[in-house]
Every structure is written in structure tokens, then in C-alpha cells.
């Protein structure tokens, strides 16, 4: 019986299952049995597969097809984070095996535990009232903030991640790196994107004391318990995790926390318009209360987070535009990126 969270593997994203089974045999408990592979179809970047050995399941993560930006889709980094972070941050799935031999499935990959839960994409699912349950909606908006504050409270020493990344100059490197990604990914001139980029680069703020940073914190990168939307069961997509400015995570999150009148881009926006869901200012206030941090300067982080997500969509689109992937979901990403650049421009503080 097919898993309801998965789809048949897309043909252009398939690999030799027999070769994978041969490689994993003896490296994971239960991996000597017959192996069936299905694909999690919801993501837009890294590719994620369910490895079903009958009595035990694992999840395999690999980079997307085609060339990827340096520093992104880093399977070794994600493995090293998830093989340790679970000790101090329970929502992090535990990683078990890293393979950097491209001959096995065509790229580096790692294998981690399967975590179950409800992933919220675009709309509130029926299990939580389909948007009509104000209490459930409020809990969904709070769980993403409370879990982020919990993550930012983790002491990297407690899980052996105190040498991860280089916190000094974090924001400067982030801005420079994303400017380079934009230049490599654009297929046409965009004066709005360039104007916002110049504004961001000219106003880099001083950072608070560093914490672990996820770098792509969103509700659809989490899973919550089907019995309680206030309970986070997993946080996913750790390939950009490092140590740095925690407000960068807040800016990335609030960038897709759309207010009334703002047109969402096609990046699995959170259902922020349902009744009971906190608005952006309430979410920011809750984070400040939970973390104890000064959030008065969040305007720069919001603009940067919005512009950065535009670059993310542009990177996805350019792979489709150049024929490096045939996934038709990506055909409209160029238009979505332009909308995010326009929204970033609108969000520049007066």
C-alpha cells in the first residue's frame, strides 16, 4: 500500500535502487531486506525519498538535478548537523549514514530516520479544521515561532556543533554570497532586484550574539502532530545550517508571513490569512518574548529575507529554463521570483 505522503519517483529523478540497496546493506539496521523507494513530492530543491524495507523505513536526501550554487544543498553539512543536533534539539531527525560516492545514485546523499507528522503547505488541512478552527490556526502560527526560539536557545557545545561555520562576519558573507547567486542565476535584467540588493548591501546591521541558524525556517519545513498542532514532531532541510545571526532566520520566516494585500509567491506560502493566525507583528512580538532578543531592527532582515527567497526561486527557475530539470512545477518560478523582488522593494522601510 502506497504511503500517502509520497508519490511514485519522478522518472528524471530516479536512480538504480539495486545499487543503493547493495551499498546500504549492512550499514543500517534492516537494510538487508528488499527495498522499495518512493519520493516525497512536496519540496522544490533537495530531493527526498522514502526507503521502505518492509519493517523499517528511512529517508534519503540528495541535491537537486543540475548544477547547484556553492555552499547550498550541502549533504555533508546536513549530515554532520543531523547526526549531532538531535541530542540537544529533539525535533531534528537523526542522520545515520553519509555517502559521498556519486557512483551509487549519481550524487552525494545521506540517510536519516523517518519522522511522521503533518506538513502544512498552502492551506490548513482537514485534520486541523481546514482553516475554520481559530484555535488550531493560532496554534499553527505559534508553533513555528516557539520552535524557532527553542532552536535558537540550543547551546552548540551540547551537541558538538560549536565549530560549525564562522559566526564572525556572518551577515556580510550572507549578503555577498546571495548577490553572487543572483548574478549567476538571472536570465534577464531586473532593476527592482538590483535596487533592493544595493539597499541591503549598504545597510548591513550589527548582529546580536550568534546562535545556531537554520537558514530556511518556514512552516512547511516542519511537521506537527496530527493530534495537536502546537506540537512540533520534526524540522527538516538543514543543509544550510550554521552559526550566525539568529534574526536572519526570523527575517526568512517573516518574508513568507504575508499580510492582507500582499500577493504570495509560489513557495508553499503559510496559510497566514486564515482567522486566528497571528499577523506578522504578533509573530515578531512572540519571538521577542520567547527569545529575549531585541527585534526592533527587524526591517532590514525582512527585506533581505524576502529578496533572498526571490533569488532561491530564480535559482530553481534557471535550472528549468536551461533544461537541467524537466519538472514543470518550476516553469513559473521566474514570475514568482519577480513578485518577491517587488515585495522586497515594497517592504523597504521609509
Domain ranges of the chain: 11-113, 126-346
Give residue 323's pLDDT: 78
CB–CB of 266/259 below 8 Å?
A: no
| 120 neighbors 270 (Cβ within 8 angstroms) | yes
Given this model, what pLDDT does residue 329 score? 75
Q: By the 8 A CB rule, do 241 and 229 touch? A: no
Contacts of 248 (CB under 8 A, 6+ apart): 170, 171, 174, 213, 215, 301, 304, 305
d(CA 327, CA 144): 29
The superfamily in CATH containing domain 11-113 is: Phosphorylase Kinase; domain 1 (3.30.200.20)
Residue found by looking up cell 532582515 in the block: 301
Question: What pLDDT score does 66 carry?
Answer: 64
> 242-244 and 57-62: which strand pairing?
unpaired
**Dist. CA 215–CA 250, nearest whole Å:** 9
Burial environment of residue 202 by CB neighbours within 10 A (0 to 12, 13 to 18, 19 or more): exposed
C-alpha of 66 from chain center: 19
What pLDDT does residue 2 have?
A: 45
Distance between CA atoms of residues 156 and 173, nearest Å? 21
Mean pLDDT, consecutive 10-residue stretches, the chain (350 aa), reads 76 95 96 95 82 96 73 82 98 98 95 95 94 98 98 98 96 96 90 97 98 95 97 95 98 91 70 94 98 98 96 86 73 84 93
pLDDT of 299: 98
pLDDT the model gives residue 268? 58
Torsion sign (Cα): 27, 9, 218, 271: negative
Query: Residue 266 has what DSSP assignment?
Result: S
Tell me if residue 277 falls in helix, strand or coil: coil
DSSP-derived letter for residue 213 is E
Instruction: Note the CATH number of domain 126-346.
Output: 3.90.1200.10
Q: Using alpha carbons, list the distances in angstroms from residue 285 to 13, 133, 140, 250.
A: 42, 23, 16, 11
Amino acid at each position: 500500500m502506497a504511503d500517502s505522503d509520497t508519490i511514485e519517483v519522478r522518472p528524471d529523478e530516479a536512480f538504480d535502487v539495486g545499487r543503493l540497496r547493495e551499498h546500504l546493506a549492512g550499514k543500517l539496521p534492516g537494510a538487508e531486506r528488499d527495498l522499495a523507494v518512493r519520493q516525497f513530492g512536496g519540496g522544490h530543491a533537495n530531493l527526498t525519498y522514502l526507503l521502505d524495507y518492509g519493517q523499517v523505513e528511512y529517508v534519503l536526501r540528495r541535491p537537486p538535478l543540475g548544477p547547484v550554487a556553492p555552499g547550498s544543498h550541502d549533504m555533508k553539512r546536513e549530515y554532520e548537523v543531523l547526526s549531532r543536533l538531535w541530542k540537544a534539539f529533539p525535533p531534528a531527525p537523526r542522520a545515520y549514514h553519509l555517502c559521498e560516492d556519486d557512483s551509487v545514485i549519481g550524487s552525494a546523499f545521506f540517510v536519516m530516520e523517518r519522522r511522521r507528522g503533518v506538513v502544512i503547505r498552502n492551506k490548513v488541512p482537514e485534520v486541523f479544521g481546514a482553516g475554520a478552527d481559530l484555535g488550531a490556526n493560532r496554534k499553527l502560527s505559534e508553533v513555528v515561532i516557539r520552535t524557532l526560539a527553542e532552536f535558537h536557545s540550543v547551546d552548540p557545545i551540547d551537541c558538538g556543533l560549536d565549530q560549525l561555520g564562522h559566526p564572525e562576519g556572518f551577515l556580510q558573507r550572507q549578503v555577498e554570497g546571495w548577490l553572487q547567486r543572483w548574478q549567476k542565476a538571472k536570465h534577464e535584467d531586473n532593476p527592482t532586484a538590483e535596487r533592493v540588493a544595493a539597499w541591503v548591501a549598504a545597510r548591513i546591521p550589527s548582529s546580536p550574539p550568534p546562535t545556531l541558524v537554520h537558514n530556511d525556517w518556514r512552516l512547511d519545513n516542519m511537521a506537527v502532530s496530527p493530534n495537536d498542532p502546537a506540537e512540533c514532531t520534526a524540522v527538516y532541510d538543514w543543509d544550510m545550517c550554521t552559526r550566525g545571526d539568529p534574526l536572519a532566520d526570523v527575517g526568512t520566516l517573516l518574508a513568507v508571513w504575508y499580510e492582507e494585500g500582499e500577493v504570495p509567491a509560489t513557495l508553499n506560502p503559510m496559510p497566514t490569512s486564515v482567522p486566528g493566525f497571528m499577523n506578522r507583528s504578533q509573530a515578531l512580538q512572540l519571538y521577542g518574548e520567547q527569545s529575549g532578543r531585541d527585534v526592533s531592527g527587524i526591517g532590514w532582515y525582512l527585506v533581505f529575507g524576502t529578496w533572498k527567497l526571490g533569488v532561491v526561486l530564480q535559482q530553481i527557475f534557471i535550472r528549468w529554463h536551461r533544461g537541467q530539470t524537466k519538472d514543470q512545477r518550476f516553469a513559473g518560478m521566474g514570475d514568482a521570483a519577480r513578485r518577491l523582488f517587488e515585495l522586497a522593494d515594497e517592504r523597504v522601510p521609509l
